[in-house]
Amino acid sequence: MEPPRSPQHQEPLLEYQDYLLAYRLRARIGGALRPRGRELRLAEYAARRLERQRLARELLRDPGYRATMRVVDDLTDELNFGFWHNPSETVAALRKIVDAGGARALEDEDGFAEQLLTRRERAVLGAEGVRVVASYYLGLVRASAAYLDPETFTRLRAQVEPSRASMPVFVHLGHDPAAV
């Protein structure tokens, strides 16, 4: 069964997938990376994301921004916002992952699939879809690891980014984190 592809209008679902995979990785690593709350359902994620956007816009208009900035930072952390796509966030997480002894999920595509995708998601994606998803996210991690070398980072990100346009979507609108 071919998983649905990701046209532009599915970018919010891809963003939610980014959140889910980062949440699962952080939960597996634990320690300083352990998420503070439970995994959010799609509707909860969307509501929190909209709240983050509203607060960020408000922040730009508020000269006494400190309290609002703390809330925006908390939401950024809760939503794993930028976890895969912001190299400085990814590098900070990688340091904590190394301190925690590493992560099988980041070693190779098989480890990624076994550790971060549910059985249902692997079935929806099929072998090729799993390979595409794992390769994409591991490519982002590799590029971020090279962040201190701008030329290498730019080259690696240029190799990874075009695959986002054809990224298979494995979450569905009724996503239930408890379903395995």
Domain spans of the chain, in order of start: 8-35+80-166
Mean pLDDT value across residues 42-68: 86
The two tokens of residue 165 are: 């346009």
18 neighbors 80 (Cβ within 8 angstroms): yes
Distance (Å, whole) CA 49 – CA 155: 31
Long-range contacts of 42-49 (CB under 8 A, 24+ apart): 42/16, 42/171, 42/173, 42/174, 42/175, 45/16, 45/19, 45/79, 46/12, 46/16, 48/75, 48/78, 48/79, 49/15, 49/79, 49/81
Percent of the chain with pLDDT over 90: 42
Between CA 8 and CA 101 the distance in angstroms is 38
Distance, CA of 63 to chain centre? 32
Give the tens place of pLDDT for each residue, 71-100. 888 888 888 787 888 888 888 888 888 888
Confidence of residue 2 (pLDDT cuts 50, 70, 90): very low
